[in-house]
Amino acid sequence: MDLLRKLNKRMGAAVGYEVRKVRRAGAPKAASPPAAAKAEEATGRAKSPQVAFRPPKDPAVDRLVKGPVFIMCPVRSGSTLLRLLLGAHPQLHAPHELHVRRLEVRCGTRLAERSMDVLGLERGDLEHLLWDRVMHRELVKSGKDVIVEKTPSNAFAYQRITACWPDARFIFLLRHPASIARSWHEADPEKRNAEEAALDALRYMRATERARQALPGHTVRYEELTADPEGVLKGICGFLGVDFEPGMLEYGAGSEGDLEKGLGDWKEKIRSGRVQAGRGLPEPDEIPESLREISAAWGYLEGPVSERESDAAHAEINQVWAQDGLVRITGSLHGRLAAPADALWRLQLVLREHKEQRLSYPAPVADGGFDASFPVGDLALDDGPAPCHWDIYLTADTADTREGETRLRVGRHLDDLQDKKKVLVFPAQRVGNGEGALLVKPYYTVKDNLSVECQADAHEAHAEAEHGDARATP
């Protein structure tokens, strides 16, 4: 290589040409893109891929922040008001939304990855160290004892937050769902109409409710906070183990420079420095149909609740790989399950065009998590339609044999990634050759459930037709 480099240097200077090594005919091409990029492509491209995470092995060594407080809440629920009130306490620092869970760490080289592996640090561990350091820096700068974080999207990642900080404490802030939706629409009416605002805000409400059902904590209602701020703040202070300070009610002093557009509420009402009376509650007939379920679950609408949002059973995807002739899916079970604890779970694929056609594969479940794979070749039926679509479920015998089986749709619903059908794109795998070749490709439906599409490989069929024409030419 040194000789070639010297030769190229002289030839380049003299005649403007260089010598390049040519691949021999029939030799395999060099891997491109790199293996790491291929692995990422096989799992689907996304802005913020899900990362495996775990609690710290030694919190005393791995965490600088002790007992952080997280306000779990939907958008437009009054979280900026609450964090300003808490931030007025001499022991509590409540900065603007930090969005630390969006800070990502990647190893730039394989040597760096190997080095971190020797240290026992995975990507999730490194990201947690970064999150903790940013939070600790902010806390130290404030000179206070406890940090309070109020980013609404944290509710989508409550499991990871509890893994990062096992000693974290949680305040759940609720507000009438119809009021949230109206405020979300009014915040940017050109970006989202009233119906879109309700559906978008509902994602945050559902995430908050899931966190509230799963975690211990202290629940606060915006309506009570604005009607009796002193009483509500005394309850929060008692929960956090600090004394109530009357100065919390006059949060305006020093808070003006802490209001940033896009990082919480920043408009005139919040800038007044005093708690303002909230708007009146919507009448029952003013609640959009999409919000009636969550309104009843939160006690804002009378009547029975058929099934709370947090209790709806489903199979939540963690990761999907489409490579090496297989589709592999890992995830976890959520909600109330009718199946017994020792149930034998299976991954079931149902042909949408002919629902009686089904494929079944083992899907072992351990500690609430599942891991299942199926060969893409099985989806290419000899007499099946093309294109065709397979919908994916997890199934198990129920505790009540009269009901037959528990069947859970496999999907990804607990994050805040929108338009998964467009954003998460998986590679297609070819099955067969010639005119009958198929491309098999996983995809997310408009409802964020996972399905698989099989369609004819137009390129392969075209090539086969061309070869046939050539053979037929005299």
What is the percentage of the chain residues whose pLDDT exceeds 70? Answer: 77
* Residue 384 pLDDT exceeds 90: no
* Section 202-208 average pLDDT: 94
Q: Which residues pair with 398 in a beta bridge?
A: none
User: With b meaning 16 or more CB within 10 Å and e meaning fewer, what string describes 370-384?
Assistant: bbbbbbbeebbeeeb
* Residue 255 pLDDT exceeds 60: no
Residue 259 has a pLDDT of: 52
- pLDDT for 24-83, tens place per residue? 444 444 434 444 444 445 665 554 556 889 999 999 999 999 999 999 999 999 999 999
Verdict on whether the full-model pTM lies above 0.75: no
Residue 32 has a pLDDT of: 41
- pLDDT for 463-472, tens place per residue? 444 444 433 3
Quick one: pLDDT band at residue 286, thresholds 50, 70, 90?
very high
Residue 167 has a pLDDT of: 97
Residue 266 has a pLDDT of: 47
Q: Where are the domains of the chain?
A: 63-309, 316-469
Superfamily of 63-309 according to CATH: P-loop containing nucleotide triphosphate hydrolases (3.40.50.300)
What is the percentage of the chain residues whose pLDDT exceeds 90? Answer: 62
Which residue, among 164, 162, 182, 181, has the nearest Cα to 122 in the 3D structure? 164
* Section 327-353 average pLDDT: 87
Q: Is beta strand 346-351 parallel, antiparallel or unpaired with respect to 218-221?
A: unpaired
* Residue 89 pLDDT exceeds 90: yes
Residue 458 has a pLDDT of: 74
* Residue 222 pLDDT exceeds 70: yes
Which residue, among 83, 294, 72, 269, has the nearest Cα to 181 in the 3D structure? 294
CA separation, residue 443 to residues 38, 46, 201, 419 (Å) = 18, 13, 25, 12
CB neighbour list of residue 132: distance below 8 Å, 6 or more residues apart? 62, 63, 64, 65, 164, 165
- Mean pLDDT over each residue of the chain, to the nearest integer: 84
> Among 122-136, 415-429, 457-471, whose mean pLDDT is lowest?
457-471
> Among 214-223, 336-345, 352-361, whose mean pLDDT is lowest?
336-345
> Among 5-19, 102-116, 453-467, whose mean pLDDT is lowest?
5-19
Residue 414 has a pLDDT of: 80
Residue 19 has a pLDDT of: 55
Amino acid at 103: L
* Residue 14 pLDDT exceeds 90: no
Residue 11 has a pLDDT of: 57
